[in-house]
Structure 1
Amino acid sequence: MKVYLFTGLLLVIGCSLGFGQLSADDISAIINKEVQLKRCPSIVVGTIDATGKRQVVGAGSFVDKKESVPDGNTMYEIGSVTKVFTTLLLADMVIKKQVNLDDPISKYLPASVKVPVIKDRHITLQHLASHSVGWPRFPDNYDPKDPDYPWVDYTIEQLYDYVSRSNFDYAPGTWFQYSNVGYGLLGNILSTIAGKPYETLVKERICTPLGLTNTTITLTPDQTKKLAGGHAEYGAPVKNWDMPAIQGTGAIRSDVNDLLTFAAANLGLVKTDLYPAMELAHIPRISKGRGEGDVTLGWTLEKAKDGDEYLWKDGTTGGYKSIILLNRTKKTGVVILANSMNQINDLAYHILMPSIPVKPYRYIWAMHDFVLETVKNKNIDKAIEEYKSMKTNRSPGLVFDESQLNYVANDLRQAKKMPAAIKILELNTQEYPNSSTAFESLGEAYKRSGKKKEAIENYEKAVQLDPKNAHAVWMLEQLKK
């Protein structure tokens, strides 16, 4: 999964920034252009100013093959924006003296979970909430039955197994490393403490007090009708994600209207008993390094040279992007939701601070489209032949990288053409012989085809190329068992 962040911009642009949110007409022109350029099938933007005035603008269609312009009630997966809901639950429990940030997580886990103690330092709730444990973005022990539905069958027992096996070189609290593992575990711990499911906890402690009616995990029939369909970077429809064991890391769905209310509350524009907890969640805990600001409980805090402070959190799932960007100093904010994996952070920065330009979007998937179409209209061997010819001749306008072929193989797998998918993945390893992920993808395809020997060989190559590819290491161990 490719993620591009626009961190550090605020720190380098400095005092030349003039504040002035764009008008609804200006925003409409921008996002309609991006839809036409195939950045996303649909985009919804909501802004709020210091008086609490809102504007919501939508572009595109949130339903495939049907004209359905999104609005403030259209729902999207918000991915990791879920994390600031999880940390608000934590901060609220701290304010109410139900937990302490420095509590070791072992206090709240079953005795069977062997939480590592690194350099005499215990992992605490604050470490989970500030991404400073040392765990990676994802656990290594996932092997979904359906690769298009990656977390639906991942269990709490698997999460506990990962925690018990984990180890790292530096003490918790000394280094930032973004981790969905930590937030999945944090959501489970808070649920255990409260004695309620995570979703119930979010609704009772956050949604009901703030009046958020469309912020949920489980959709009603009416909400399902309002849910935008997700899309891959190149525009193909994808399945929605459910993640029952790690909900606290990215399972929430919401709409722009609700998230603007959430943004307003975090800016102090809405009176709420949750505001002390929000203030606690905004306190910086650890530096991201490289001039990228500080991590609070869930948010990133950045300070511009003119003194303005900004909070932001973005999110990604298999077919969606989201971002909340707040100017704490001027009490303004922007929320953007979109149903594609293509980046939208630059749009948020530009809308809140027009001096920051929109990063020009270019559709780069023409090569993927051509190869896939050739497979469908001719055959896999002809598609590979024409791919090689195009690469040799450096056909203009085409981008050649391993993600192009990987997506072709994924489409062929979904079309139940696994032999053709394997040929494309074999080509990918030939084109990119130093890529661990290329060999891992081929190993995965062989495994799903029942070819254990070939699967082992390719996972071994993936590990040889990158010994730190933890998932490939784990998969290889399972295959050899």
Structure 2
Amino acid sequence: MPPPSDPARPARVPTGRLEPVVRAAGRRSAAVVAVYAAGDSATLCHGFTDRTDTQPVTDRTRFELGSITKTFTALLLADLAARGTVRLDQPLSARIPVGSLPRGAGAGHITLEHLATHTSGLPRLPPGLLRTAIPSWSVNPYQAFTPDRLLESLAGTRVRHLPGSRVRYSNFGAGLLGHLLAEEAGVGYGALLRTHVLDPLGLADTSASATEPQATGHWHGRPRPPFVIPAMPGAGAVRSSARDLLRYARCLIAPDTHTRPGSPLRTALYEVTRPRPRSPGGPELCLAWTRRGETNPRTYAPALYFHSGGTRGFTAFVGFSRHPAIAVVALTNTAPAPHDRFVQSAYRLLWTLAREPGIGPAPAPARG
């Protein structure tokens, strides 16, 4: 955790800088925004854990992260690869029975890395999921899609382009990746994540459990039950607090500071942000993280890494830069809606802070 700020020196990032993001969440929403910059951290909390207005949210309140879960799954993959348990280039054909493999050009050559970079060619959702989702569409659209149906859906999938040739965002692919990693370890996804990522990084508020205390989510002003995704927890089951997520981002900013020398997790923290080859004009490909820009300290045009997420009751954003060391976390207990500005406001704060000359010292250059 960052050292306490000198009380005689104003914080480098006053909480007033965070207020536009909180306002973008909406007056009735709970929101927590946390920033790390220039060696200081600042947090702004607004609202209550539910709309009875009895318990204020804090930086320890747990929010559903939705697709930000994919970054945890990617880190888990990179950690297991660093240990030699799996390989990034390992094809599905080495892990799944032939009868369960998808059809189409190159389908047997889909690798674990393809799943983590959304280049597998798999569709956004498993075939058949929408049919089961309709009865609970506004509450928990994934709850009736059970784990035993995952490989059955995979066998009924046709890959539309060669693996690695095109980016196509896929909850299916990320969920399948989490399933395969848990199967390899012989434990549930949440337990595997706890052992390899959460406990080593000191993320005490973070888990993949829907039964632990958390804020109440809202969709169009109505309270929603906790989000459940039994077949694909690696795509969207994680909950966390602003305090934990700021620590998570700081571990990604400076892996050497937060992990043991030579540890697989240190290697994994670097690996998830390593850019992969991409098609001309395509996005920078990392393991789950979106990357924009190039590190250029002279012009303050740093590389930014970020991911957003949403469930039927929550919206979340995490972003960071290594040079300079900047992180922004934004959480609210309202589901994403068309034209809302919460994620955009959080990204704008990250972009602005990372380009301000002198906002903070950069850590040692990242390896690779």
* TM-score computed with the length of structure 1 as normaliser: 0.63
The CA distance in 2 between the partners of 1:102 and 1:271, in whole Å, is: 27
Q: 1:140 aligns with which of 119, 127, 139?
A: 127
The CA distance in 1 between the partners of 2:112 and 2:142, in whole Å, is: 23
Note closer, same or farther for the CA distance 1:167–1:66 as it changes in structure 2 (3 Å cut): same
SS in structure 2 opposite 1:34? helix
The CA distance in 2 between the partners of 1:211 and 1:348, in whole Å, is: 25
Q: 1:78 aligns with which of 59, 62, 65?
A: 65
Higher helix share: 1
Counterpart AA for 2:90: D
The CA distance in 2 between the partners of 1:83 and 1:332, in whole Å, is: 21
Note closer, same or farther for the CA distance 1:135–1:65 as it changes in structure 2 (3 Å cut): same
**Cα deviation 1:89-111 (Å, max 9, x = unaligned):** 11011111121111111212245
Q: Which residue of 2 aligns with 1:25?
A: 16
Note closer, same or farther for the CA distance 1:256–1:355 as it changes in structure 2 (3 Å cut): closer
Give how far 1:157 is off: 2.6
The CA distance in 2 between the partners of 1:355 and 1:95, in whole Å, is: 33
SS in structure 2 opposite 1:237? strand
The CA distance in 2 between the partners of 1:98 and 1:58, in whole Å, is: 41
CA contact (8 A) 1:129 1:186 kept: yes
The CA distance in 2 between the partners of 1:120 and 1:136, in whole Å, is: 12
Give how far 1:355 is off: 8.0
* TM-score computed with the length of structure 2 as normaliser: 0.82
Which stretch of structure 1 is more off in the superposition, 189-198 or 61-70? Answer: 61-70
Larger radius of gyration: 1
Note closer, same or farther for the CA distance 1:278–1:339 as it changes in structure 2 (3 Å cut): same
Identical columns (%): 29
Counterpart AA for 1:179: S
Note if 1:294 corresponds to 2:284.
Answer: yes
Gap runs ≥5 in structure 2: 1-10, 355-368
Note if 1:316 corresponds to 2:310.
Answer: yes
TM superposition outliers: structure 1 runs of 4+ over 3 Å:
31-35, 144-147, 286-291, 304-307, 353-356
The CA distance in 1 between the partners of 2:12 and 2:166, in whole Å, is: 35
Q: Which residue of 2 aligns with 1:231?
A: 218
The CA distance in 2 between the partners of 1:315 and 1:101, in whole Å, is: 24
**Cα deviation 1:21-77 (Å, max 9, x = unaligned):** 7411332x4245335x44x611101111243x3221111222112143321101100
Note if 1:330 corresponds to 2:319.
Answer: no
The CA distance in 2 between the partners of 1:219 and 1:121, in whole Å, is: 34
CA contact (8 A) 2:124 2:172 kept: yes
Counterpart AA for 1:183: A
What is the count of residue pairs matched by the alignment?
Answer: 327
Counterpart AA for 1:114: L
Counterpart AA for 2:52: K
Q: Which residue of 2 aligns with 1:257?
A: 243
CA contact (8 A) 1:334 1:351 kept: yes
Q: Which residue of 1 aligns with 2:78?
A: 91
Q: Which residue of 1 aligns with 2:8?
A: none
The CA distance in 2 between the partners of 1:300 and 1:326, in whole Å, is: 11
**Cα deviation 1:198-257 (Å, max 9, x = unaligned):** 10000011111111111112256xx41xx111112x322223211111000010111111
CA contact (8 A) 1:21 1:352 kept: no
CA contact (8 A) 1:108 1:192 kept: no
Which stretch of structure 1 is more off in the superposition, 332-341 or 235-244? Answer: 235-244
Give how far 1:318 is off: 1.0
CA contact (8 A) 2:107 2:163 kept: no
CA contact (8 A) 2:119 2:166 kept: yes
The CA distance in 2 between the partners of 1:353 and 1:308, in whole Å, is: 9
SS in structure 1 opposite 2:232? helix
The CA distance in 1 between the partners of 2:280 and 2:317, in whole Å, is: 21
CA contact (8 A) 2:198 2:206 kept: yes
CA contact (8 A) 1:31 1:59 kept: no
The CA distance in 2 between the partners of 1:314 and 1:32, in whole Å, is: 16
Gap runs ≥5 in structure 1: 1-19, 357-481
Q: Which residue of 1 aligns with 2:227?
A: 241
Give how far 1:117 is off: 5.4
SS in structure 1 opposite 2:109? coil
CA contact (8 A) 2:217 2:313 kept: yes
- 5 Å-filtered alignment, 1:204-219, equals 204-218=195-209
Q: 1:43 aligns with which of 17, 31, 35?
A: 31
CA contact (8 A) 1:130 1:286 kept: no
Counterpart AA for 2:286: T
**Cα deviation 1:240-293 (Å, max 9, x = unaligned):** 2111110000101111111111111000164213221111111122548766x3
The CA distance in 1 between the partners of 2:159 and 2:107, in whole Å, is: 13
SS in structure 1 opposite 2:223? coil
Note if 1:174 corresponds to 2:162.
Answer: no
